[in-house]
Structure 1
Amino acid sequence: MPIKESELILNPDGSIYHLNLKPEHIANTIILVGDQDRISKVTSNFDSIEFKTQKREFKTQTGHFKGKRITVISTGIGPDNIDIVLNEIDALVNIDFSTRQIKENLKSLNIIRIGTSGSLQEHIPVDGFVLSTHGLDINGMLHSYQINSISNSDIEDAFIKQTNWHSNKSRPIVVNGSKKLLKKLESDITYKGLTATAGGFYGPQGRVLRLPVQDAELNSKMDAFMFNNICVSNFEMETSAIFGLAKLLGHEAMSINAIIANRAVGTFSKNPAKTIENLITYTLNKITE
């Protein structure tokens, strides 16, 4: 049965609604960044750029680096934007827009988030790179989907117990990242850990300006969490959503973050722009090896 126009929304030119993209515009390897200004920082390394577009915060450029075709897309901030981006990227390759039918042969993409984050652990230094072995969803977006096949209940139960997770909040969800992409991107200069994904920047990450938070001790509890040598390495707003939707849709996904602050020791990068530049160069070279 064809997907209804109200569910799969296309622009008058036939492009997908939010991203303003057609299937031929994207590569099989996709880099996601939050900040649209970071697109040019990635593609300035390219040998050539074949396509550019932007709609709202969603900016896309596709080109070639060392002979490999790569698409770079800005997602904006937060898991709600990731819900849009991942679903529309998948639709571009796995739904026939002319018939509105799901294709018989589904395609799996390689999706890599390049981001910035703060470390929660003393051993992960400022200016280091963290690869996310898991995403910890504490924002609840993934509960809109059937997630039993992708969640890790043993880690989730341990996290709930150790943090005394409030019953009014959504149950935490832990999703594995791609082992294939982890192996490709890791090296002796990368660190690994579980990346927590919040649904906001202030209260959801324990920041207090004028509004008190529900659990003022939650951050310290998260810092101390440990289960089978898995700890919460860093805190941001996209990784678990990318991991969860990618896994449900059959794509490979990995998140690599430049650490520009270490909350455990109270340090901040002296040159965060350089650290991000180094991460971009590192990632591009690793995915084209």
Structure 2
Amino acid sequence: MTDRSEIVIVNERLYHLGVKKGDLAQNVFIVGDPARAIRVSKEFDTIEREISNREYLTFTGTYKGIPVSVIGTGIGTDNVEIALVEAFIAHEFNLKDNTRKNDCPPMTFIRLGTSGGVHPDIAPDTLAISSYALGLDNTGLYYDEAPVDEIVERIEIKAKQILTDAALKDSRFRGKIIPYASKASTEITEALAKQAAKHNVKFEVGITVSSPGFYGPSSRFIEGLKYTFPDIKGSLSKLEIDGLRVLNMEMESSLFFHLCGQMGYRAGTICTVISASTSSDDVVDYDAAIGSAIKIGLKTLVDLNKETNLEA
């Protein structure tokens, strides 16, 4: 194994994001849908850079005087992994010799997403603010990090038992799914909840499940397909640790928190619940639903910068 960081640069730009040194602000919104990145950028006071490369779309500008970026990553933890690592490289490395600086201030990431509900009492249009995430993907397993607290360990133990019990008894994959848990930055979770409460928006704080797929891994029935877990959504809805219950299912936050934690960066997620627990094919008005998450995310950014006096 080489001791030299293996960074791929093409024409002075990182291979996937297409950004060069200085193209990203210290404060970054992460969204899945590139169209959502465009929508977030329209809230900026200024836009200084627009970079489109592969499936990634990045805007950098200012909001209320705060330098900020938004990155549209596409769907899934694998896409988020690439975006976060390349953001880390752009922020902390000299791209001419691939050496890492030692005095870089931490970045702040806030994910603005959409998700499916898992409880009948969590209605569509509710904002789910993640305190922890449960990863059903395996991307996070490639980044070794000790559990940040006891709750992470308990989520992992309980989730593994639930998944084993929920699998078809004759499935060759029964007992082979190894879930992992990760924790959002408490500071961001609390700031998001504070802003949601201040603006009278329906919200809950709890655990977000990140699935590696939209259909089978999220219990969306499709005739002709046989799933290992007939009702993974219903099974995981029973997971609750110290009053924190599973609120929603999406496809990114597990790796997002896990990797940002290893980098020493702050990370938090706020997702609009756009479908009910009993009708995942019935989605509310997408444009209207995501507006609340964007609004609260932007106000949280301002709040965090007032408190910490960060400069990007």
Q: What TM-score do the two structures reach when normalised by structure 1?
A: 0.92
User: C-alpha distance in 1, partners of 2:16/2:159?
Assistant: 35
Tell me the CA shift for residue 113 of structure 1: 0.5
Q: 2:97 aligns with which of 79, 91, 99?
A: 99
User: C-alpha distance in 2, partners of 1:204/1:265?
Assistant: 16
Letter in 2 for 1:80: D
Tell me the CA shift for residue 198 of structure 1: 0.8
- Bigger Cα displacement from structure 2, 28-37 vs 94-103: 94-103
- 1:185 has 2:225 as partner: no
Q: 2:210 aligns with which of 193, 197, 202?
A: 197
**Could you list the runs of 5+ residues in structure 2 that have no partner in the other structure?**
166-173, 304-312
- Other-structure match for 1:168: 176
User: C-alpha distance in 2, partners of 1:223/1:149?
Assistant: 22
Tell me the CA shift for residue 268 of structure 1: 4.8
- Other-structure match for 1:288: 302
Q: 2:285 aligns with which of 268, 271, 274?
A: 271
**Number of aligned residues:** 285
Indicate conservation of the 8 Å contact 2:134/2:208, yes or no: yes
Kindly report the root-mean-square deviation, in angstroms, between the aligned alpha carbons of the 2 structures.
1.9
User: C-alpha distance in 2, partners of 1:21/1:267?
Assistant: 37
- Other-structure match for 1:208: 221
User: Identity rate of aligned residues, in percent?
Assistant: 26
Q: 2:247 aligns with which of 233, 239, 243?
A: 233
Tell me the CA shift for residue 129 of structure 1: 0.9
Tell me the CA shift for residue 267 of structure 1: 9.3
**SS of residue paired to 2:217:** helix
User: C-alpha distance in 1, partners of 2:229/2:93?
Assistant: 43
User: C-alpha distance in 1, partners of 2:122/2:232?
Assistant: 20
Tell me the CA shift for residue 264 of structure 1: 4.5
Q: Deviations over 1:153-208 (max 9, x none)?
A: 22211222234363222x11111101111122113233111100111111121223
**SS of residue paired to 1:37:** helix
- Other-structure match for 1:157: 157
Q: Deviations over 1:249-268 (max 9, x none)?
A: 11110010011112147795
Indicate conservation of the 8 Å contact 1:177/1:254, yes or no: yes
**SS of residue paired to 1:184:** helix
Q: Deviations over 1:77-119 (max 9, x none)?
A: 0011011011101011112212211212243110011011111
Indicate conservation of the 8 Å contact 1:2/1:100, yes or no: no
Tell me the CA shift for residue 122 of structure 1: 2.6
- Bigger Cα displacement from structure 2, 159-168 vs 17-26: 159-168
Tell me the CA shift for residue 31 of structure 1: 0.2
Letter in 1 for 2:4: I
Letter in 1 for 2:185: S
Indicate conservation of the 8 Å contact 2:77/2:212, yes or no: yes
**SS of residue paired to 1:157:** helix
Letter in 2 for 1:11: V
**SS of residue paired to 1:233:** strand
- Other-structure match for 2:306: none
- Bigger Cα displacement from structure 2, 258-267 vs 210-219: 258-267
- Bigger Cα displacement from structure 2, 251-260 vs 263-272: 263-272
**SS of residue paired to 2:233:** helix
Tell me the CA shift for residue 61 of structure 1: 0.5
- Other-structure match for 2:4: 3
**SS of residue paired to 2:111:** strand
Q: What TM-score do the two structures reach when normalised by structure 2?
A: 0.86
Distance 1:84 1:265, change over 3 A: closer
- Other-structure match for 1:244: 258
**SS of residue paired to 1:127:** coil
Indicate conservation of the 8 Å contact 2:205/2:244, yes or no: no
User: C-alpha distance in 2, partners of 1:267/1:219?
Assistant: 14
**SS of residue paired to 1:59:** strand
Describe how 1:41-190 pairs up with structure 2 within 5 A: 41-150=39-148, 152-164=152-164, 166-169=174-177, 171-187=178-194, 188=197, 189=201, 190=203
- Bigger Cα displacement from structure 2, 111-120 vs 145-154: 145-154
Indicate conservation of the 8 Å contact 1:137/1:197, yes or no: yes
User: C-alpha distance in 1, partners of 2:231/2:58?
Assistant: 40
User: C-alpha distance in 2, partners of 1:180/1:240?
Assistant: 17
